[in-house]
Amino acid sequence: MEITIEGQGDVRTVRIGGRLDGTTMRQLEEQFLQLADGGFNRFVFDLSQLDYISSAGLRVMLLAVKKTKAAGGKLALFGLNDNVNEIFRISGFTTIFSLFRSEEEALAFVS
């Protein structure tokens, strides 16, 4: 899994590529918690390069959205491929997350 974090004002864009599963989820969890504990509460997650997400990966995503909302912030996702989108749909996560087609829409939502 590859994670790139970019900053634009008080918004952090987290770009995730590869597989987010039980062996890689800790990396995302640690990086997200470091940002959240550092006071950031507006996030855009770019999942356009994410090939697969397991239940362990979904748990990290759930942690991120809950922690963000508890801090009064917003988290948006964009770029879900058909496979990842289907996993989100089946798990009921499409009702928990704010999903967008483009990065611009996601950034507008969290700003």
What are the structure tokens assigned to 60, written together?
């990290």
Which pLDDT does position 55 carry in this prediction?
Answer: 96
Q: Which domains does the chain have, with CATH numbers?
A: 2-110 (3.30.750.24)
Q: Give CA–CA dist 66/79, Å, rounded.
A: 21
| Rounded alpha-carbon distances, angstroms, from residue 92 to 32, 62, 97 | 22, 11, 9
Which pLDDT does position 71 carry in this prediction?
Answer: 97
Which pLDDT does position 66 carry in this prediction?
Answer: 97
From first to last of its 111 residues, the chain has per-residue pLDDT tens of: 999 999 989 999 999 999 999 999 999 999 999 999 999 999 999 999 999 999 999 999 999 999 999 999 999 999 999 999 999 999 999 999 999 999 999 999 999
Which pLDDT does position 101 carry in this prediction?
Answer: 95
Helix/strand/coil (H, E, C) string of the chain? CEEEEEEECCEEEEEEEEEECCCCHHHHHHHHHHHHHCCCCEEEEEEEEEEEECHHHHHHHHHHHHHHHHCCCEEEEECCCHHHHHHHHHHCHHHCCEEECCHHHHHHHHC
Q: Give CA–CA dist 3/28, Å, rounded.
A: 7
Which pLDDT does position 95 carry in this prediction?
Answer: 94
pTM of structure? 0.95
